[in-house]
Amino acid sequence: MADKKEKKTFKAYEPGKQCAKCGARMARHSDRLTCGRCGYTEFVKSESQQQQGKQKK
Ligand SMILES: [Zn+2]
26-43 pLDDT tens trace:
988 888 999 999 999 999
Is the confidence at residue 14, as pLDDT, over 60?
Answer: no
Instruction: Tell me how far the alpha carbon of residue 47 is from its chain's centroid.
Output: 10
Cα of 2 vs centre of ligand 1, distance in Å, is: 34
CB atoms within 10 A of CB 34: 15
Neighbours of ion ligand 1 (CB under 5 A): 19, 21-22, 24, 35, 37-38, 40
- Percentage of residues of the chain with pLDDT beyond 90: 32
End-to-end C-alpha distance for the chain, whole angstroms: 40
Which pLDDT belongs to residue 37? 94
Helix (H) or strand (E) holding 42: strand 41-43
Cα of 1 vs centre of ligand 1, distance in Å, is: 35
C-alpha span between 2 and 7 (Å, rounded): 9
Which pLDDT belongs to residue 36? 92
